[in-house]
A and B are shown apart, each in its own frame.
Chain A
Amino acid sequence: MIRLEAVTKSFASKRGAAPALHGIDLSVGRGEIYGIIGASGAGKSTLVRLINLLERPSSGEVVIDGARVTDAKGTALSDLRRSIGMVFQHFNLLSGRTVAKNVAYPLELAGRLSRAEITAKVAALLERVGLADHAQKYPRELSGGQKQRVGIARALANDPKVLLCDEATSALDPQTTGQVLDLLQEINRELGVTIVMITHEMEVIRRACDRVAVLEKGRVVEEGPVTTVFLHPAHPVTRALVREAEGDNAVPATQATGQLLRLTLTGATAHQPILGRIARDFGSDFAILGGRVGHIRTTPYAQFAVALSGGNGGAAVAALRASGVTVELIGGGPTVAEHGAERGAEHGGERERHLHVV
């Protein structure tokens, strides 16, 4: 659906060219909700603005739906932008227009519908975002969440294939954030719109995204399904972002005895009584040192740091793996050492002092 190929972007500054993006390769599939996360200044906005060519790449190609659009101009550019809706952190509504007129704006620009058709379409869009009762209000009379709903309705007006959300929930309180994320997921599900979502909050990625790219200083440092990146973050930047969302789950290693394992259960596995059964079967016991339980979009997950002791530890670990549990050694005895940690092994040293669940 969307492909960025070796894209770089530099801005001219007084001290020469300031690079904002270095060689970005990214591919977003049709119907996906793709998250891009990173700290402020990482280049997220620049990256997303390349997709609808609000920003032109310094080098590299932008490919949408198989067509190279990097140099699109004039009506080709207008048509492209109409097929890509955009939602902004600060809403960017026209303050002099009512809610209905704001949503009508992109339709008036396109000039393809009659006045009556526009009125009908605006009514349907406002119905979809739950603002039918507010059509005649001005933006300043709305709450932040309502303003963003207007922004979403407006972005959907020309039936886009793609929706770009640049920090769409960053100006909203947690509850409103949840509602807006639910609305975006509903739009993705029911209209099949591909969504690219920029955020600095891992929580937004966890709730709404299928895949995620982690951006740092203009580079993608980690990329993959959210279930992998969120539960097994490999890059220190990703770990910091996850920890920020989950709170610090560090456990002082001195209190733990036995093998220190990290167990990750996802999907149906997360709801099965696996741990107790296996502990019983192999005469082992475990202390839970830390953990987190929740959902990644709709996929349930559970992740624990445990100290496994007694009985046939090696067989217990094998049985856990056989049941679909991901087992990683994060410290302690030799029994499971040969199985190795699947990810994060290269960072094992750091974990011997502090056991982070993430």
Chain B
Amino acid sequence: MAQSVAQNMAANAKGISMWFDRINWADIGTALGQTLTMVGISLSLTILIGLPLGILLFVTGKGQPFARPIGYGALSFVLNIIRSVPFIILLIVLMPVTVLITGTSLGIRGVIFPLVVGTSPFFARLVETALREVDRGVIEASLAMGASPAQTIFRAVLPEALPGLIAAVTVTAIVLVDYTAMSGAIGGGGLGDLAIRYGYHRFQTEIMLICVVVLILLVQLIQASGNSLVTRFTRR
């Protein structure tokens, strides 16, 4: 530790150019890979779970042809509870369940489950909102053409909501980048983990800085791609 502090001070004294000499770019590459893996897997699972939940919220919601106030209220209540627990606490509370499911609460495998639990209710809400944006007239027209409620949802409402759904996935992906960084604190791996291990515990500020810059670039990239897809699929 003392050595680390000394090194750090020396590095600062010798200027920025010296900083980069000590950075292990391979480590950063590995961490980025881990972050992308965690975000990718948990995003896929979040969509897989959150999309049906969002559709369920939408169809049972008030003012819809298939409104089920009690079912909607119950589902809404559960999702709100999960959403109101701070992610870092969810991470700790879920540990026993995580171990039960994946055998470990550490590393990429250990972190996917809490990530999915943490973001699915959020994504489900975004899906519900996106589906509500669809013109009621379109739903009515579909039903008037003899479509069943299921046909109307899958062939008219979901395709019409596509831009909104892409935006929802974009926002969720960014939240996941944030959450993976947080899960680094309890040994999840990835850029957040690296930043905390080197930057916080070993006082290698430069590594933390680089990790943050990479995270910023990643978020910008996700947002930009999301925006361009939304534009591409907006036909209104």
Contact = CB atoms under 8 A, between A and B. Distances in A.
A110 B143 CA distance: 12
Nearest to B157: A94
Contacts of A92: 135, 137-138, 140-141
Contact of B233 (A96, A105, A108, A139): A96
- Of the candidates A52, A80, A108, A109, the one having the most CB atoms from chain B within 10 angstroms of its own CB is A109
A80 B142 CA distance: 14
Interface string B142-154: 1111111001000
Interface string B20-52: 000000000000000000000000000000000
B235 interface: yes
B146 A94 contact: no
B159 A94 contact: yes
B97 to A, nearest CB: 40
Contacts of B62: none
Contacts of B235: 95-96, 138-140
A22 interface: no
A110 B146 CA distance: 8
Given A94-B156, A138-B235, A109 B143 contact: no
Contacts of A79: 146
A260 interface: no
Contacts of B146: 77-82, 106, 109-110, 158
A30 interface: no
Interface in A75-112: 77-82, 84, 86, 88, 90-97, 105-106, 108-110
Interface in A183-220: none
Nearest to A86: B144
B143 A105 contact: no
B201 interface: no
Nearest to B156: A94
- Name the interface size band of chain A: 20 to 34
Given A94-B159, A96-B160, A96-B235, A52 B144 contact: yes
- Name the interface size band of chain B: 20 to 34
A54 interface: yes
Nearest to A83: B146
A106 B145 contact: yes
A154 interface: yes
A81 B142 CA distance: 10
Contacts of A78: 146-148
A77 B137 CA distance: 19
Contacts of A52: 144
B162 to A, nearest CB: 6
Interface in B60-113: none
Contacts of B138: 92-94
B236 interface: yes
B137 A88 contact: yes
A352 B11 CA distance: 105
Contacts of B144: 52, 54, 81, 84, 86
Contacts of A106: 145-146
Nearest to A82: B146
Contacts of B135: 90, 92
Nearest to B158: A96
- Of the candidates A79, A90, A95, A97, the one having the most CB atoms from chain B within 10 angstroms of its own CB is A95
Contacts of A154: 145
Interface string B120-139: 00000000000000010110
Given A88-B137, A90-B137, A95 B160 contact: yes
Interface string A252-279: 0000000000000000000000000000
A155 B151 CA distance: 17
Nearest to A151: B141
A97 B236 CA distance: 10
Interface in A296-324: none
Contacts of B236: 95, 140
A118 B151 CA distance: 18
B145 A54 contact: no
A96 B159 contact: yes
B143 A81 contact: yes
Contacts of B137: 88, 90-92
10 contacts: A77-B146, A86-B144, A88-B140, A91-B137, A94-B159, A96-B159, A96-B160, A96-B162, A109-B142, A109-B146
Given A92-B141, A158-B146, 16 more contacts: A54-B143, A77-B146, A79-B146, A81-B144, A82-B146, A91-B137, A92-B137, A94-B159, A94-B160, A96-B159, A96-B235, A105-B142, A105-B145, A105-B155, A106-B145, A109-B145
User: Top 6 A-B pairs ranked by shortest CB distance?
Assistant: A92-B137, A92-B141, A82-B146, A81-B146, A106-B145, A78-B146
